[in-house]
Amino acid sequence: MADLEGLKVAKDYHVETPFANQNGFYLKGANSLDWGMKKHMSNIFNPKSGNTVMFAFDHGYFMGSAAGLERLDLLIPQLAPYVDCFMGTRGAIRTCVAPELTKSVALRVTSGSSMLQDDLSHEVVAVDIEDAIRMNADCMAVQTFIGAKGQLSSIDNLSQVINAGMRYSIPTLGVCAVGKEMERTDRFFKLATRIIAEMGCQIVKTYDCENFEEVVAACPVPIVVAGGKKLPEKEALELAYDVIRKGAHGVDMGRNIFQSQYPIEMAKAVNKIVHEGMTAKEAWEFFEDETH
Ligand code: 5RP
């Protein structure tokens, strides 16, 4: 095991230098993937902007009908025009996402936590690869707890899913979990996102933090950013703008869309930032025009 104690070299993330090994395909770290993987990645990440708006509604797998997700059947069709990818459980997707919606799917495949528990870090792989194939999933999302009690089992889950995904050319989305007891520093996110990417995930989901551009620079696959707890809409748009400006390839936003009084308009405004290069200020003005 390498010893960190003698480490003296100053860190240099070369944040201004684009990812180098990208000849032939538009997505970071996807150069050597086969056709099937690239096709799924292209379904998720718009080839023109290189980015994605994922709508995360997988909260039910540990929170039940979290506030704002009581009627997915009503919400999903309204949001569909403004998002690129639906991220949810197989139960929610099969029942509430019409197959006619030609949007990509990020299928949540791990489970085992509930908000009634203190420690959420022990999960299992709950969906097998055959069902992910049947659902035409574009990627499989695995909750990954680095530095928590359940780290070993979540690394085991992640490895199983990546191995199965490699057999059938389905990308894996490693979701960097932040439990109550876990730090939310750039030190933590640099460690966790890099571990997840080096395990072999094709996409990493994480959170915004200080020096976020360094987290992105050191992660060799595309990063999508969770919205986190509900913020005032203006701040949520600033968050989206900030992470895209610093190199994220999209957002995977849940509560800041579905808990807004104006979820459709929020999704539209986020889409303008992610795909059309709007600044936070422009997107906020757009949102205000749409809602007044
Ligand atoms: C839970 C998740 C959620 O999908 C994620 O937190 C995104 O939703 P939000 O924007 O509400 O944070 O991965 O583990």
Quote the tokens at residue 270. Answer: 């986020």
216 lines ligand 1 (CB under 6 A): no
58 lines ligand 1 (CB under 6 A): yes
Which residues does residue 100 pair with via DSSP β-bridges, in sequence order?
none
User: How much is the pTM?
Assistant: 0.95
| Residue whose C-alpha is closest to residue 14's, from 189, 204, 218 | 218
Q: Which residues contact 95 (CB under 8 A, 6 or more apart)?
A: 72, 73
Of the residues 28, 103, 205, 272, only one is catalytic, namely 205
User: How far is Cα 118 from Cα 114, in angstroms, rounded to an integer?
Assistant: 9
One-letter identity of residue 136:
N
> Do 239 and 208 meet the contact criterion of CB atoms below 8 Å apart?
yes
pLDDT by 10s per residue, the chain, length 292 = 666 666 667 789 999 999 998 888 999 999 999 999 999 999 999 999 999 999 999 998 888 888 899 999 999 999 999 999 999 999 999 999 999 999 999 999 999 888 888 888 899 999 999 999 999 999 999 999 999 999 999 999 999 999 999 999 999 999 999 877 678 899 999 999 999 999 999 999 999 999 999 999 999 999 999 999 999 999 999 999 999 999 999 999 999 999 999 999 999 999 999 999 999 999 999 999 999 9
**Residue 229 designated active-site:** no
φ, ψ of residue 187 to 5 degrees: the values are: -60, -45
User: For residue 290, how far is its CA from the centre of ligand 1 (angstroms)?
Assistant: 26
Which atom number of ligand 1 is nearest to the Cα of residue 177? 14
Which long-range contacts (C-beta less than 8 Å, at least 24 apart) are formed by 71-79? 72/96, 75/258, 75/263, 76/101, 77/101, 78/263, 78/264, 79/55, 79/257, 79/263, 79/264, 79/267
User: For residue 177, how far is its CA from the centre of ligand 1 (angstroms)?
Assistant: 9
User: For residue 253, how far is its CA from the centre of ligand 1 (angstroms)?
Assistant: 7
Ligand 1 probe mutation, 58, 145, 204, most atoms within 8 A of CB: 58
